[in-house]
Structure 1
Amino acid sequence: MVFSWATLKTELSVLCRHGQFTGKLHQHTTEEWTALYSDLQGEGSVYKVIVSLKEEQLKKVLEAFPCSPNVEDVQMMHPDQTISLGILEEHPDYHFGKQWFFTPPPLVFPLRMEQGWIGIAVGAEPGRNLFTTVSLKAAGTGEYEVHVYYDGYYKEEGKACTVFLTNEYLASPNEVIASYSRLLQELQWAPAPKRSIPDWWKETFLCTWGDQFNITKINQSKPNKETETHHITTYETQANQTKWFKTLQDYGIPVGIISTSDKWQLDRYRPVPDEDRYEDLRAFVDWHHREGRKVIAWWGLWHIDGAPAKWSIRDENGKPLTLDPEHPELRKVMKEDIKQLISPDGFDMDGFFIDFTGRHPNGENCKKYGDKWGMELLYDYVKCIHDNAKSAKSDAMIMTHCCHPYFADVTDVFRLNDFLSKAPNSVQQGEYRYNIAAMTSDWLINMDNWWMYDLEQWRKYQKYAPTKGIPAAWHTQGVFGMGADSYGYEPFTEEDYIEWRDLWMEYRKKAGLS
């Protein structure tokens, strides 16, 4: 069914901190989408572009669907509430607080009407995705504004961002997301990779961060405990990894991929082991390889822990904010580190678990080496890791939570990321996140299972996850429940381990894994 924009009225506003830009909107219509191209003229630095949309039918919007999970676990919104999507952990315009789970998410806003779903979306040509956040704001009856934040880092004349509008009603918000992803691929604004998928990328996955968390919470829950001495990262060691994994091995639970977790590194900005934690990383990797398992390395982006100040992005007062992935000296070190970690002549690891992509620097007038910002800077960072890993080992696997179609060629496996612990709805959260990710690209999907509300939710999610994607575990011993009524540690039972083994063996059989 066609949705008509016949009476659409549009307006473009350009907010600058330095200089002045003016702009025009050029309209182009295809079968599925209407495109509003923003054409900028002038000089200076653009802080924000605002595209106003006024159309009588927009009065009939009933609710909106946020394409990024949020800390309040809101999955449907009132049409008058602001929806913000982007790559920052926090942004002044984020109505529901931190949104690091999908960074960036697909930048599309599905809106429900009586006849079906329509979509408003944002895109840009490769190289011009310099924005950090995109917001949809109700501006009055039948009127919306699309705010595209450049934070002062867009300085080019010509075509900037484009706002897209669907030309037909679709059956669900997932169909709107899928249509948006196809649109960017057809425009060649997002890649459509022809994937060659090694079987091992589909393997069952283990990261023992949950076991580290359990120890921390158990210790902190004791009377008069000095909680600052029991941070979760304290327990990331080769010995603990080995001990926890062997519990699953003893029960015959088939694990195909092992990941290190936060603080296996000496300095967080580099993928180099801390020998006080991993006394013989190569021996750890060799042991798993001999038994048919792969080993990947956790890497939290943007950290400046241990990095020279000159390799950082700094605020206008010179304070280091995050790592600067464009700095040429840093790039050289990253290339050498990745080769050493992944190459068979080095530690012979098999890829990376990329985390913390939402810790992008925030603010105007930052001092940095290159001219990239927003999505482009993050993409460049991930691509540097991806390309160097593939150069060292062609089947190296890169797992991210960058859910935008632009990242499809630098992400092999997409991870659903941390769940929330405020409500016992793990399966519902998994379904919500899986559907968004599955509509965005054809990447494999790691189903995650961190955090869990309580042991009962863990059990339900254990059964659900293998029916959708790659089953994963963050716990081997039990769950420290975070629900108000279940706060405390609940160990796994003999029956839990047996069912776990059966579920994962059945998954591997269906996935065609030997």
Structure 2
Amino acid sequence: MLRKADTRVHLTSVYEAFIDLGSATADIRRLDDPDWTMRLGLLTLVDAIGSTPFPQQRIYASRAVELPDGGLQVSFDLEGTGWRSHVVETTFAAETVTTRATVYGDGEQVRSVRALHARDGQGSTMPVAELYSPRFDWFAAQVRGSTKDHERLGAQQWLSPPPLVYVLEGTNSAAWIAACASVGELDFVSMDWQGGDACAVEFAYEGHRTVRGEFTTPAITVGFTSEGGNPAVREAVEWQRERGILPTIENKHVPTWWTQPIFCGWGQMRYDYRADHQGHENGNFINVTSYCTELRYRNYLADLDHHGVDPGTIVIDMGWAEQAALARPHPHRWADMRGFIDEQHARGRHVLLWFAPSVFEGLPVEACMTLDGAPIAPDPTSPVYQAILVEQIRLMLSSDEGCLDADGFKIDFTQCYPSEDGTFTSAVPNFAGLINESDARYLFPPLSEGPRDLIRTHGERWGIGLIRDHIGLIYDTMKRIKTDAALMTHTANPAFADVVDILRLNDLDGGCDDVLGVMRNRAELARICSEHWLIDTDDDLMISKERWLDYARLQPQLGIPDTYYVTGIAHSGERIGDEEWSEVREIWRRYRSERGLQAPVPVQR
């Protein structure tokens, strides 16, 4: 029904939209909730490096076309945006509204994309004050704030990246706002909520998308639902999966050993280091890496044997390699890693090796991203790096003579892939470059501080897409070498569902009063992202023995039980005694019994 020349009304079974073509807005009223009204900006703007950010634009043509399925498509042709041509299309479907733009240019580099924008610099007006962001947080089980706040879901977070979905929560209803981007469209670092009286969603491309002819932005979809929080996130993910936007998996084979309880030595390494250094880590966690030694791991496993606690999977953590990007064990720490792994295999155990794909230690410059000619990080788009990585994975996983015959990887620090303007603007030549915000030796100036050359890669992938391709290369290579090898990451995003076997919930803060709630929510988000990957419950950064034991009791409800500690808790210095290990032993026994798992072969005394 036409209300006036530049206004349309679109009615579905869920909402009624009053669309103003002149202002490029839609006032949306929920039919099931009279208190829910929102004004959506219908424009998507694309900002290029070197141009005026989001200049004033003029709508020189607009169209509204009814679709065969009963939907309505509204289009705007813009000028004054710095592009040869700029077209925005918004589709009003039965339960959703989806918008995206296409721009035409000649070599411009996209800095950012802003969606849900309206004319004259205005954004969208939200009906509610509360915004749920399904991301990692040390202290909040669920991250909620005002729609007027700024939020970020992106690659440089500890679940890297989280689901790219924001949830608006009202008293009686809710809505989700999702980045509906295929794997090939993920070349941005983050999806940012630009809060205020008028809101928008912004993608940070940081100059790493060059427009050669045309560029179509990821779609932003608004879905209307009855329940907020994680149910809304689940609905957004399933909506995309049903439409082929996200990877789908059928009949994934899960070897039994993947589900076995885990021992990772990192927490105990921290305990030992602190015991030898007056209770601290000398100002940086990377000092602990020198304690990743064969002798210590043998002692750790002997102590666990003594208590009758039998992990089926052993994670050899950070510090085992002489150079982080390569497969050679550190000669002064691991005299015979192959022999150690063979012994674990003889007992029915499997071994994962810690690996941080963001560290370039040991690589030639031709295998790296560079800034002003200096290496910054490994470059998975480099043919030189791809060849090196394939060979290093062979050396780590193959059973051939001269190889380590490990069973997979614990991938860590994916949040440390460099950004031009994010949290971590740091080269990563070694461990000191990880999560670095203060060591000036490795920092480079953020792009927002002034013009400079961009980081160079050999291909055109960036941000989340670059991480996804890197993980995919590791995954495909390891499966060719050892079909039942397991890949563990902390990439809790559904676009990674087909290249990850075990999703690690990542570090927890044992000092958080709601640490169990935090981990429950992370596990729920992990299951939303993929029902096919297993969940490693993690166990590091416990503040006390009591908290450690509380979490050990919860772990089987969330995923695979995992202990990082053997003789004591690093933070408190408390010793773990027979009584605590007796309870953990029983927790693991019940876990195995309920799943029909066998414990490893007992050590022969």
TM over 0.5: yes
Structure 2, gaps ≥5 residues long: 1-12, 19-26, 28-39, 52-81, 421-446, 448-453, 599-605
Query: What does residue 2 of structure 1 align with?
Result: 14
Whether contact under 8 Å (1:426, 1:452) holds in the other structure is no
Give the RMSD, CA atoms, in angstroms: 2.3
2:67 counterpart of 1:11: no
The whole-number CA distance in structure 2 between the counterparts of 1:272 and 1:170 is 54
Q: CA deviation at 1:272?
A: 2.9
The whole-number CA distance in structure 1 between the counterparts of 2:288 and 2:405 is 27
Query: What does residue 458 of structure 1 align with?
Result: 548
- Of residues 505, 510, 514 in structure 1, which corresponds to 2:594? 510
Aligned pairs for 1:77-226 (under 5 A) are: 77-88=145-156, 99=157, 101-140=158-197, 143-156=198-211, 157-166=214-223, 168-194=224-250, 195-221=252-278
Structure 1 residues 14 and 235, CA, compared in 2 at 3 Å: closer, same or farther? same
Query: What does residue 576 of structure 2 align with?
Result: 492
Structure 1 residues 497 and 38, CA, compared in 2 at 3 Å: closer, same or farther? same
Listed one character per residue, the Cα deviations across residues 239-260 of structure 1 (whole Å, up to 9, x for unaligned) are 1111112211111112110011
Structure 1 residues 39 and 459, CA, compared in 2 at 3 Å: closer, same or farther? same
Whether contact under 8 Å (1:424, 1:457) holds in the other structure is no
Aligned pairs for 1:328-343 (under 5 A) are: 328-343=383-398
Find the residue that maps to 2:45 and give its secondary structure.
Answer: strand
Whether contact under 8 Å (1:123, 1:129) holds in the other structure is no
Q: Which residue identity is paired with 1:398?
A: L
Structure 1 residues 294 and 222, CA, compared in 2 at 3 Å: closer, same or farther? closer
Structure 1, gaps ≥5 residues long: 89-98, 482-487
Query: What does residue 33 of structure 2 align with?
Result: none
The whole-number CA distance in structure 1 between the counterparts of 2:564 and 2:243 is 39
Mean Cα deviation higher: 185-194 or 488-497: 185-194
- Of residues 276, 288, 306 in structure 1, which corresponds to 2:362? 306
Structure 1 residues 126 and 5, CA, compared in 2 at 3 Å: closer, same or farther? farther
Identical positions, percent: 25
Q: Which residue identity is paired with 2:88?
A: L
Q: CA deviation at 1:53?
A: 5.0
Q: Which residue identity is paired with 2:392?
A: D
Q: CA deviation at 1:468?
A: 1.9
TM (norm. structure 2) is 0.77
Whether contact under 8 Å (2:177, 2:222) holds in the other structure is yes
The whole-number CA distance in structure 2 between the counterparts of 1:228 and 1:79 is 36
- Of residues 35, 48, 66 in structure 1, which corresponds to 2:112? 48
Find the residue that maps to 1:127 and give its secondary structure.
Answer: helix
Listed one character per residue, the Cα deviations across residues 273-295 of structure 1 (whole Å, up to 9, x for unaligned) are 22321211111111111111111
Select the structure of larger CA radius of gyration: 2
Whether contact under 8 Å (2:14, 2:94) holds in the other structure is no
Find the residue that maps to 1:60 and give its secondary structure.
Answer: coil
In the alignment of these two chains, the number of paired residues is 492
The whole-number CA distance in structure 2 between the counterparts of 1:222 and 1:50 is 48
Find the residue that maps to 1:47 and give its secondary structure.
Answer: strand
Q: Which residue identity is paired with 1:395?
A: D
Whether contact under 8 Å (1:26, 1:36) holds in the other structure is yes
Q: CA deviation at 1:489?
A: 0.6
The whole-number CA distance in structure 2 between the counterparts of 1:355 and 1:56 is 37
Listed one character per residue, the Cα deviations across residues 488-508 of structure 1 (whole Å, up to 9, x for unaligned) are 311112110000000011011
Structure 1 residues 53 and 5, CA, compared in 2 at 3 Å: closer, same or farther? farther
Query: What does residue 72 of structure 2 align with?
Result: none
- Of residues 319, 323, 335 in structure 1, which corresponds to 2:378? 323
Q: CA deviation at 1:72?
A: 5.6
Mean Cα deviation higher: 15-24 or 498-507: 15-24
Structure 1 residues 3 and 202, CA, compared in 2 at 3 Å: closer, same or farther? farther
Query: What does residue 477 of structure 2 align with?
Result: 388
Whether contact under 8 Å (2:45, 2:101) holds in the other structure is no
2:373 counterpart of 1:284: no
Query: What does residue 369 of structure 1 align with?
Result: 458
Query: What does residue 485 of structure 1 align with?
Result: none
Query: What does residue 484 of structure 1 align with?
Result: none
The whole-number CA distance in structure 1 between the counterparts of 2:16 and 2:257 is 48
Q: CA deviation at 1:124?
A: 1.9
2:68 counterpart of 1:68: no
Whether contact under 8 Å (1:426, 1:453) holds in the other structure is no
Find the residue that maps to 2:183 and give its secondary structure.
Answer: coil
Structure 1 residues 395 and 82, CA, compared in 2 at 3 Å: closer, same or farther? same
The whole-number CA distance in structure 2 between the counterparts of 1:264 and 1:219 is 20
The whole-number CA distance in structure 1 between the counterparts of 2:124 and 2:104 is 32
Listed one character per residue, the Cα deviations across residues 210-234 of structure 1 (whole Å, up to 9, x for unaligned) are 01111233334369x9778991101
The whole-number CA distance in structure 2 between the counterparts of 1:227 and 1:133 is 30
Mean Cα deviation higher: 48-57 or 467-476: 48-57
Q: Which residue identity is paired with 2:133?
A: P
Find the residue that maps to 1:139 and give its secondary structure.
Answer: coil
Whether contact under 8 Å (2:44, 2:99) holds in the other structure is no
Q: Which residue identity is paired with 1:14?
A: V
Whether contact under 8 Å (1:220, 1:230) holds in the other structure is no
Query: What does residue 95 of structure 1 align with?
Result: none
Query: What does residue 476 of structure 1 align with?
Result: 566
Q: Which residue identity is paired with 1:390?
A: K
Query: What does residue 525 of structure 2 align with?
Result: 436
